[in-house]
Structure 1
Amino acid sequence: MSNPSEMFRRYLSAMVLNSLATAEAAGLNATDYYALNLLDLAGPLTSGELAIRTGLTTGATTRLIDRLEKAGCVRRVLDPADRRKVIVESVGTPPGLDKVLEGTRRRLAEVLMSYDEEQRAVLFDYFGRAATAYQEATDELRS
């Protein structure tokens, strides 16, 4: 068996490289792809929340929203509770993104289905707990 630390780093590197290649194949840059994923997972966010979650400056976030709006993926809506704030809503995925993701989804489904139900439960428990740990570590690094 390989060194567990090296194996985990290899896994993370492959995941990051796949995300970068997916973004490029879909005609997006990595930050735009990441922001669309954030909006899909979190739902509508204010531009300020999007800036915090992406780690971008407010100016860079405005340009990000402009690009995604022009591509027909998001829209800006005034916050009914505070008209000074803009809420960014996802309104669709880039054309062809599902097609680009087919190979990755198929391969990962094959891997996951090679485990029994109990093993998959452990894997998904890990994914949830690891996501929280990564988010907390990221927040710690940024503060």
Structure 2
Amino acid sequence: MERAEPVERATPGPEMEIVHLLRAVAVDLGRHSTRFAQHNGMHPTDVRALIALMDAARAGETTTAGQLGAALGLNSAGTTALVDRLERAGHVRRVRDALDRRKVTIEVAEQAVALGWAHFGPLIDRAVDLLRGYDERELAAVRGFLTGMLKPVVPDLRAAP
């Protein structure tokens, strides 16, 4: 595996300024998410699970408990405890597949969506307002950058050699 040469740390430039801004945004979003979890008696993993489930639903995909656990890096017991906790709180529901009753998917309850919008809505609105000020070329650049940042840099240590 080839290693990229490290970015020159002593030479600040516009790229490093953007990297530092991205880090600041990530830290701020983490704090915002932590406040949401604490205020609603949730664990940070609960919030990550709800986000994963909503992202899947937005993509038109259903999610089983096994798929959710894999996405969050949880074992079977941890996933069951997570889903049980979210279900007891009324944030998710287990839904049996109409064609294969053995298959159970996890869906986010409207109550959880409303709760999330109440907390994260102003932040989302601010992001949308900022993005509306960009032209198509600028939006494509932002999209390309963020998509590139989502690609794994470090190999998955859980993967078989």
Q: TM-score range by the shorter chain?
A: 0.7 to 0.9
Structure 1 residues 71 and 102, CA gap change in structure 2 (3 angstroms): same
- 4+ aligned runs moved over 6 Å, structure 1: none
Normalising by structure 1, we get a TM-score of 0.76
Matches within 5 A, 1:1-143: 2=13, 4-5=15-16, 7-25=18-36, 27=40, 28-43=42-57, 44-79=62-97, 80-81=99-100, 83=102, 85-94=103-112, 95-131=114-150, 133-134=151-152, 137=153, 140-143=156-159
**More helix as a share of residues:** 1
Distance 2:30 2:110 in 1: 19
* Unmatched 5+ stretches in structure 1: none
User: Which of the pair has more CA radius of gyration?
Assistant: 2
Structure 1 residues 47 and 71, CA gap change in structure 2 (3 angstroms): same
Alignment length (residue pairs) = 139
Normalising by structure 2, we get a TM-score of 0.69
1:18 shift after superposition: 1.5
1:37 shift after superposition: 1.1
1:127 shift after superposition: 2.8
Distance 1:32 1:112 in 2: 29
1:6 shift after superposition: 5.9
Distance 1:108 1:68 in 2: 28
Task: Describe the SS at the equivalent of 1:33.
Answer: helix
* Unmatched 5+ stretches in structure 2: 1-11
Q: 1:56 corresponds to which letter in structure 2?
A: L
The CA RMSD measured in Å over matched residues stands at 2.7
